[in-house]
Amino acid sequence: MDVLTRRRFLVASGVVGASALAGGAAAYRLNDLLATAGDRDPQARTLVLVTLYGGNDGLNTVVPHADPAYRNARPDLAYSAEEVLRLDDGTGLNPALAGLHRAYGAGRLAVVRGVGYPKPDRSHFRSMDIWHTAQPDRPGTTGWLGRWLDRAGADPRLAVSFEPALPPLLAGERGAGASVPVTEREGPPRLAAETLTALAAVAPDDSPARARAAACFADLGAVDAMVRQVRATPAGEDAEDDGETASATATGGARASLDAQLDLVARCVEAGVVTRVFSVSLGGFDTHADEKQLQQVLLGQLDGALSRFTDRMSRTEAGRKVVVAVYSEFGRRVRANASDGTDHGTASNVLLLGAPVDGGLYGEPPSLTDLDDGDLKFTTDFRDVYATLLERVLDTDAGAVLGGWRGRLADAL
């Protein structure tokens, strides 16, 4: 998701401080986190939240291969019992999720099925806003982890995003989490504007090579001016906003690979920094056409990154206190469309991964025949998942963060 699209998303969500967050006002450097090494409670757990932007197809991730309604609804997209990685007699994981399948066998992966909320919304904008704020009944102004951060002292370093802009879920009433760029590098000193202008000037007797070099400096100056103008544009006043609709949001994700993001998370955990929450992401799951191969590629990236990360975390005491939660803003329609893909749907799965997790299948699988306008009816409210993470990972009163919500996932953590 590019900076302008993310900014539109933040502003549209109504989250407190959206324009400041989109502009990077909460940005920190990795060294700011590493400077806190050794300052955290060694018994404290860590939450790593993985957002799959675009709406991942839950039915082809956790596959109900034994249900005839599954193959009837999507004959060209469906996986057979022989193709999936078996969880039980009726359910299997996508073939690309071999690492997560091994984690399931080791009791370290919990698959929560049918996760959603009442009156679901198929808009990327609105649905991601609901997942970020945990307020499906009304537009929210703070993120659910931002409210936790307020209660934890509002130190931005307690909740960190390795994305270009801070996601709304880390925005609180009194403060917000920190945004740390993954590809951060110390660059050379900037050229003064006068120097750049002089280098970009072409003299009549310049050689062709010198003229080409001057043109390059002129281009550099133009790009620099454009970037500064973009950064200075107030939120909601993008110069070329030609009415882009909600469907274009939340389908991206961080520019850096999930591997690179999780590598930084691992470094922080191993160093013992104070951070309790890390937010990372992978985009591209808006699979309206030619879904099967594309989703396998994306799920393979997810599986490889998570497997390498959890293997690394298993080697240290701090790492064995990490819980990973994977979610997407919605699932897909039960029936395939005419382009060998699936359109925006509703309920899907949440995956919980790590040493503290009591692995297994949780939640009732939604019916594929008793549908709501062609969509799955949710069986587990997503706030049950959040409440469990707040209490069992972040050691806080979930009701105070989630407006008195009482639901929980029994025995998952």
User: Which string of DSSP letters, residue by residue, matches 174-223?
Assistant: S-B-EE--TT---PPPPPPHHHHHHHH---TT--HHHHHHHHHHHHHHHH
CB atoms within 10 A of CB 105: 13
Residue 89 has pLDDT above 60, yes or no: yes
CA-CA-CA-CA torsion sign (355, 359, 364, 367): positive
* pLDDT score of 196: 54
What pTM was computed for the model? Answer: 0.81
Q: What's the pLDDT band for 256 if we cut at 50, 70, 90? A: confident
What rounded mean pLDDT belongs to the chain? 84
pLDDT for residue 236 is more than 90: no
**What pLDDT score does 126 carry?**
94
> What are the pLDDT digits (tens) for 151-182?
999 999 999 999 877 899 999 998 899 988 88
The arithmetic mean of pLDDT across residues 305-333, rounded, is 98
Residue 248 pLDDT grade (very low, low, confident, very high; cuts 50, 70, 90): very low
Confidence (pLDDT) at 38: 85
DSSP secondary structure, 301-347, as one string: HHHHHHHHHHHHHTTSTTGGGEEEEEEES--B-SS--TTSS--B-S-
Model confidence at 242: pLDDT above 70: no
Mean pLDDT over residues 24-51, rounded?
A: 85
Give the rounded percent of residues in the chain with a pLDDT score beyond 90: 69
Q: Which residues pair with 325 in a beta bridge?
A: 49, 352
Please write the tens of the pLDDT for every residue from 19-28. Answer: 334 433 446 8
Higher pLDDT, 188 or 309: 309
- Give percent of the chain with pLDDT exceeding 70: 77
The confidence score (pLDDT) of residue 206 equals: 72
> What pLDDT was estimated at residue 201?
74
Confidence of residue 130 (pLDDT cuts 50, 70, 90): very high
The two tokens of residue 187 are 């660059």
